[in-house]
């Protein structure tokens, strides 16, 4: 039993992070024979990719995946902590699973991901959800086979969550959701400690993967026919700082560009670490796509300071303008409304910034206090109706600019990586280099390829077109 601690999660050790290779104990290889698992994933791309590793480990133990949880022998929830509603969804799911477990006593249930890293959540599980078999955190994903094997022998609740960052584990088996585009982790954790954000506590210290391991992974993806990689990290712009003295994200992108993978994206950028070299590398390399997700969070310097974002709206705009000088670039963002103390004037500064940047699209959120973060100690003093009204006004503006940017594409032809059949009858769907969703009439054998599509109609959230 190892329970997480808020105090420990805050600390940043100076110890070197260990790197090791995953090994599956041979005793676990047939543990899943004739057994079915159901996996539910909440949250960001990082979690989606962790789930691909969870599936990989379970498949190498011979488990079979099912999409109906009633059929499963093992249910695993990979959870998210970023806002209250993600919490509520996972707890709601645990309530449903409790009923299943009453009928099927040998069902095994596990919870992992960011919520597992929260002291408060684990205490609640110990009190109210004792039917859960085991809980493990983001720092010991690779412990899954061992914990599962132990639970087959002993059904008692086991918590195995470490607050200090774990090793970097290479070669965890993976079952990818797509055959054409792949997520590749480049850096784990975050040391930015924005005051509203729980991620530095749930994902731990910033630690980069070795460049040679990343490049080898992309080379293997190219051999397997992949067309696109998305390099992942909470703050990809910090890549390399903990590992090298003169090798940063821009250098890594250049090296990955040489693998000739047709498309390279990276997520998520913090404006504070965005170097001029990186702007140049995006500008000058065809397969480093003209697409940057650059969360601004707020447009008022007073709120940005309270958020601990380390930039002002002026420096943000300066960076934005440099990026915008790249021909055809698409820039998206994240914005939080209703941060403690946000006045109508502060909020209007956010609207002004949106009017300046005219983003291609944005994710917008109502501030959600997260336990033990510095912002949660500020008075959450804005009524919900006001937060909702601000979110509505913001979304109206964001949607207007999304539509405008999509309208500019009308009549032009773009490269689209075709991912599959669209929900709309006899249509295909895929994404442009700038990450715009296109539904279009095309040949079925285009799936998995990059084809030319002419844009015939534009909405706020998608485009329609036809293959040419
Ligand atoms: N409340 C609301 N939104 C949040 N985000 C992160 N923490 C919170 C919070 N406590 C948003 C930020 C971040 C995105 C991933 O989620 O906008 O960029
Ligand atoms: Fe959270 Fe800020 Fe780190 Fe992003 S950069 S994960 S918002 S602390």
Work out the mean pLDDT of the chain and round it to a whole number. Answer: 96
Confidence of residue 64 (pLDDT cuts 50, 70, 90): very high
Distance 377 CA to ligand 1 centre (A): 16
**CATH code for the part of the protein at 413-467:** 2.40.50.140
Structure-model confidence comparison of residues 13 and 316, the more confident one: 316
Confidence of residue 84 (pLDDT cuts 50, 70, 90): very high
Ligand 2 pocket mutation pick from 83, 200, 206 by most atoms within 8 angstroms of CB:
200
Q: How far apart are CA 118 and CA 80, in angstroms?
A: 10
Distance 199 CA to ligand 1 centre (A): 9
Cα dist from 88 to 7, 45, 124, 409, 445, whole Å? 24, 20, 13, 39, 42
| Percent with pLDDT over 90 in the chain | 95
pLDDT digits (tens, 9 = 90+) for 444-466: 999 999 999 999 999 989 999 99
Residues in contact with ligand 1 by the CB-under-6-Å rule are 82-83, 196-197, 295, 297, 334, 336, 365, 367-368, 370
Confidence of residue 232 (pLDDT cuts 50, 70, 90): very high
Distance 227 CA to ligand 1 centre (A): 30
Distance 197 CA to ligand 1 centre (A): 6
Q: Relative to the alpha carbon of 202, which ligand is closest?
A: 2
Which atom of ligand 2 is least distant from the CA of 309? 2
Distance 82 CA to ligand 1 centre (A): 6
Asked if 61 contacts 29 with a C-beta cutoff of 8 angstroms, the reply is yes
Q: What are the residue ranges spanned by the domains of the chain? A: 6-160, 168-407, 413-467
Question: How long, in residues, is the chain?
Answer: 468
pLDDT confidence of residue 30: 95
- What CATH architecture does domain 168-407 belong to? Alpha-Beta Horseshoe (3.80)
Q: Is the pLDDT of residue 78 over 90?
A: yes
Q: Report the range of poorest mean pLDDT among 9-18, 86-95, 279-288.
A: 9-18
Which atom of ligand 1 is least distant from the CA of 373? 10
Nearest protein CA to atom 18 of ligand 1, as residue: 334
pLDDT digits (tens, 9 = 90+) for 417-449: 999 999 877 899 999 999 999 999 999 999 999
Reported in sequence order, the residue ranges of 302-449 that DSSP labels E, i.e. its strands, are 330-337, 361-366, 413-421, 428-432, 437-441
Which atom of ligand 2 is least distant from the CA of 200? 8
Pairing relationship of beta strands 450-458 and 463-467 according to DSSP bridges: antiparallel
Q: Is the pLDDT of residue 1 over 90?
A: no
Residue 209 has what DSSP assignment?
Answer: P
Pick the closest to residue 322 from 286, 357, 361 (CA basis): 357
Distance 49 CA to ligand 1 centre (A): 19
Q: Is the pLDDT of residue 18 over 80?
A: yes
Cα 453 to chain center, whole Å?
28
Nearest protein CA to atom 2 of ligand 1, as residue: 367
pLDDT confidence of residue 120: 96
Distance 190 CA to ligand 2 centre (A): 6
Q: How far apart are the two ends of the chain, measured CA to CA in Å? A: 60
Q: Is 153 exposed, middle or buried (0-12, 13-18, 19+ CB in 10 A)?
A: exposed
Place of tokens 């300046």: 356
Q: How far apart are CA 125 and CA 116, in angstroms?
A: 10
Distance 377 CA to ligand 2 centre (A): 18
pLDDT digits (tens, 9 = 90+) for 162-201: 998 888 999 999 999 999 999 999 999 999 999 999 999 9
Per-residue pLDDT averaged across 372-393, rounded?
A: 96
3-state secondary structure of 261: coil
pLDDT confidence of residue 131: 96
Q: In what order do the strands lie in the sheet with 36-41?
A: 64-65, 36-41, 74-79, 108-113, 134-136, 158-160
Q: How far apart are CA 385 and CA 366, in angstroms?
A: 11
Question: Class assignment of domain 6-160?
Answer: alpha beta
Nearest protein CA to atom 14 of ligand 1, as residue: 334
Which atom of ligand 1 is least distant from the CA of 363? 17
pTM value is: 0.96
Strand-pairing partners, residue 41, are: 78
Asked if 170 contacts 20 with a C-beta cutoff of 8 angstroms, the reply is yes
HSE, side-chain direction, 13 A CA sphere, residue 111: 31
């Amino acid at each position: 039993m190892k329970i997480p601690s808020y105090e420990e999660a805050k600390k940043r050790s100076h110890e070197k992070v260990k790197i090791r290779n995953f090994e599956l104990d041979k005793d676990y290889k047939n543990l899943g024979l004739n057994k079915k698992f159901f996996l539910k994933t909440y949250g960001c791309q990082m979690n989606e990719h962790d789930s691909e590793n969870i599936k990989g480990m379970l498949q190498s133990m011979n488990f079979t995946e099912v999409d109906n949880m009633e059929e499963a022998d093992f249910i695993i929830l990979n959870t998210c902590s970023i806002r209250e509603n993600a919490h509520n969804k996972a707890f709601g799911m645990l309530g449903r699973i409790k009923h299943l477990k009453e009928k099927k006593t040998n069902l095994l249930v596990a919870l992992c991901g960011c919520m597992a890293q929260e002291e408060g959540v684990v205490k609640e599980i110990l009190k109210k959800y004792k039917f859960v078999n085991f809980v493990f955190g983001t720092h010991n994903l690779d412990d899954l086979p061992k914990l599962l094997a132990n639970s087959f022998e002993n059904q008692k609740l086991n918590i195995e969550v470490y607050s200090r960052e774990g090793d970097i584990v290479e070669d965890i088996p993976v079952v990818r959701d797509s055959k054409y585009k792949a997520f590749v982790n480049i850096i784990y954790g975050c040391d930015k400690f924005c005051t509203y954000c729980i991620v530095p506590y749930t994902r731990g210290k910033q630690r980069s993967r070795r460049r040679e391991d990343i490049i080898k992974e992309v080379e293997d993806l190219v051999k397997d026919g992949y067309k696109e990689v998305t390099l992942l990290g909470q703050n990809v712009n910090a890549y390399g700082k903990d590992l090298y003295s003169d090798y940063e994200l821009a250098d890594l992108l250049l090296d990955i560009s040489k693998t000739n993978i047709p498309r390279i994206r990276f997520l998520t950028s913090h404006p504070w670490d965005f170097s001029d070299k990186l702007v140049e590398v995006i500008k000058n390399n065809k397969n480093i796509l003209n697409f940057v997700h650059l969360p601004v969070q707020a447009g008022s310097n007073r709120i940005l300071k309270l958020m601990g974002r380390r930039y002002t709206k002026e420096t943000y705009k300066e960076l934005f303008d440099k990026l915008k000088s790249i021909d055809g670039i698409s820039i998206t963002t994240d914005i939080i409304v209703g941060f403690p103390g946000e006045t109508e004037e502060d909020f209007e500064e956010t609207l002004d910034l949106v009017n300046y940047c005219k983003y291609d699209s944005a994710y917008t959120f109502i501030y959600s206090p997260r336990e033990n973060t510095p912002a949660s100690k500020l008075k959450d003093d804005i009524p919900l109706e006001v937060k909702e009204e601000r979110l509505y006004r913001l979304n109206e503006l964001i949607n207007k600019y999304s539509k405008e940017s999509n309208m500019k594409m009308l009549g032009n032809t773009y490269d689209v990586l075709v991912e599959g059949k669209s929900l709309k009858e006899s249509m295909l769907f895929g994404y442009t280099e700038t990450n715009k969703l296109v539904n279009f009439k095309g040949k079925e054998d285009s799936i998995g390829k990059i084809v030319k599509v002419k844009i015939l109609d534009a909405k706020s959230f998608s485009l329609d077109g036809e293959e040419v």
